Structure 1
Amino acid sequence: MNPFLAWTGGKRWLVKIAPELLTISFKGTYIEPFLGGGSFFYALNPSTSILGDANRDLVITYKAIRDHHCEVVKLLQVHHSNHSKEYYYLIRAKKNLSEIEIAAQFIYLNRTCFNSIYRVNLKGEFNVPIGTKNKVIQETDKWDVWSDRLSNSEIIHGDFEKLIDKAEKEDLLFLDPPYTVRHNNNGFVKYNEVLFSWADQERLANAANRARLRGAKIIITNANHESLKELYLNNFTVKEVSRYSSIAAKSLNRNKYEELIITCNI
């Protein structure tokens, strides 16, 4: 099933081109430290999970959908009824909100901003302009299901390494970091260097290797680049895949991108 958020760099495509990953058998806990839109989590539907992200408002949103989704939906219905250009920027600028209000604001902006991009300025303020979509409440919404599937999830705001270090034998780790490589001309990758540095990529690889030695089952997605292959080739299986990207604003600039699926112990 599709998640309630659209997410730049999300993994809806992975479910389509590598469905075999959804049949991996594991007896432990599913752990995902870069939650984002949660596409793989919702497709896999694990019985128990630990979910995390460094984005505080994103984590608040998932907790609110898990614990108080009816209240969030009521606010989303208000946003839906009032949506306009003026209203969008009014809601975008609001601060000092309750957690329910933060969740509704987050989902509203995600569904109506340009290309569902999440971006903040140096002050940490969301600054993406309004987009062309205007449906806040959608016919395909499944709030009861989305909430229920989070019911057995521990949801944590924090650094990815702490979550990876929780993985033990028979747990399944799904790692989908922001794509950053060493020496690359891709503007989106360069932008992510601010969010997730090359040092973070090395720290991620080291943490994943420690989890491998503990017997955890691991799936990693990342950009197809020699610098990243070098981090994993010795101890992991590395597979190249192609997927279509719709990140670019102009359709002529939208291409197929080569990515990596990196696995071990599966």
Structure 2
Amino acid sequence: MKEKVVPFLKWAGGKRWFVQRYESLLPKEYNKYFEPFLGSGAVYFTLLPEKAVLNDANKDLIEAYRGIKSRWRKVYELLKEHDQLHSKDYYYRIRSARYDLLEERAARMIYLNRTCFNGIYRVNLKGEFNVPIGTKTKAILDTDDFSRVSSALKKAKILNKDFEKVIDQAQENDFLFVDPPYTVRHNQNGFIKYNEVLFSWDDQIRLAKSLIRARDRGVKILMTNASHHSIRELYEPLGFDLKVVSRFSSISASSINRNKYEELIIMANINREGIQQ
């Protein structure tokens, strides 16, 4: 069995919990792996497929992946500098800095991700990253193995496109893992409300239509989404297989709100035998 690779980023809505508890849901056989909303890549780094297409609309995120894929040694050296120089003033100086080289932009992204508040990625109306400094002070982690991450990414094509263009590439017996921002209809709750700016309800409808086309082509699909009646009403009539799971959320700023809540697993063309409840 392949040894899993530890994701190098913390990401709101990341799926480490999913692969720890529900890896049995993932198909064992498929041709090519597609992930249109990459985030921290927890599922990709668990499966380590031989052929993959990885995508995200977040350019800074994708540049971090591309930097490690092609220039991981340079990225790591720059990240060590950030680690040694880290302070409140330094954090805000790097947050406002702009760089020309890919390795510099990748190291900046990883440094900010590891030292900002709760690993959240948020931008202002100008598209500038504006998350305040957090309590973590280490930009270098004990789990870092950029050489292995780079080797894993060598097998993947890394894109910065709209999700629909990536989903439309998947063909029969490919596997599509989909983890969109959790936007729901008529929702006014915290982080999901912020997601609405990035991923609207119209985008959810567009995503559903693209997944119908993929399913009809014979693509194996597994999607995680908000367990909300508007999402269920969107997919149940379309013949998808729905399963509700619970997980622990630690992204909330309030400890009162850090508790178990339900998420929805939506599948198509996947054999459910042996699934753990």
Structure 1 and Structure 2 fold alike (TM over 0.5):
yes
Residue equivalent to 2:10:
6
Match of 1:89 in 2: 92
Shift of 1:185: 3.6
Structure 2 Cα separation of the partners of residues 26 and 195 of structure 1: 33
TM-score of the superposed pair, with normalisation by structure 1: 0.97
Q: Which residue of 2 aligns with 1:58?
A: 61
Deviations 1:152-208 (A, max 9, x none): 100010100000000100100011000000122422211111110000000000000
1:176 maps to a residue whose letter is D
> Per-residue deviation at 1:78?
0.5
Counterpart residue number, 1:132: 135
Structure 1 unmatched ranges of 5 or more: none
Greater shift, 223-232 or 199-208, is seen at: 223-232
2:120 matches 1:102: no
**Greater displacement, 53-62 / 207-216:** 53-62
Provide the C-alpha distance between the structure 2 equivalents of 1:184 and 1:119, rounded to a whole number of angstroms: 19
2:248 matched residue in structure 1: 244
Consecutive unaligned residues in structure 2, runs of 5 or more: 271-277
1:217-259 CA-partner distances (Å, limit 9, x unpaired): 0000000011111221132100001111112112122121111
Task: Give the partner amino acid of 2:123.
Answer: V
Q: 2:76 aligns with which of 73, 78, 95?
A: 73
- The residue aligned with 2:208 is 205
Q: Give the structure 2 partner of residue 25 of structure 1.
A: 28
Structure 1 residues 103-145: Cα deviation after superposition (integer angstroms, max 9, x where no partner): 0000000000000000000001000011011111111111111
Residue of structure 1 equivalent to 2:267: 263
2:184 match: secondary structure:
coil
1:194 partnered with 2:193: no
Taking the aligned partners of 2:30 and 2:192, their CA distance within structure 1 comes to 35
Answer yes or no: is 1:155 the counterpart of 2:158. Answer: yes
Q: Percent identity?
A: 57
Q: 1:170 aligns with which of 170, 173, 182?
A: 173
Runs of 4+ in 1 over 3 A off after TM superposition: none
Equivalent-residue separation in structure 2 for 1:237 and 1:95 (angstroms): 45
1:47 is matched with which residue: 37, 47, 50? 50
Local SS of the residue matching 2:239: coil
Selected match of 1:119 from 122, 136, 150: 122
Q: Map 1:223-242 onto structure 2 (within 5 A).
A: 223-233=226-236, 234-242=238-246
State the AA in 2 paired with 1:195. Answer: L
User: Which shifted more, 38-47 or 89-98?
Assistant: 89-98
For 1:184 and 1:55, the matched residues in 2 are separated by: 23
Is 95-104 or 191-200 further displaced after alignment?
95-104
SS in 1 for 2:74: helix
* Aligned counterpart for 1:253 among listed residues 250, 253, 257: 257
Distance 2:252 2:100 in 1: 32
- With 202-211 and 244-253 compared, the bigger mean Cα shift is at 244-253
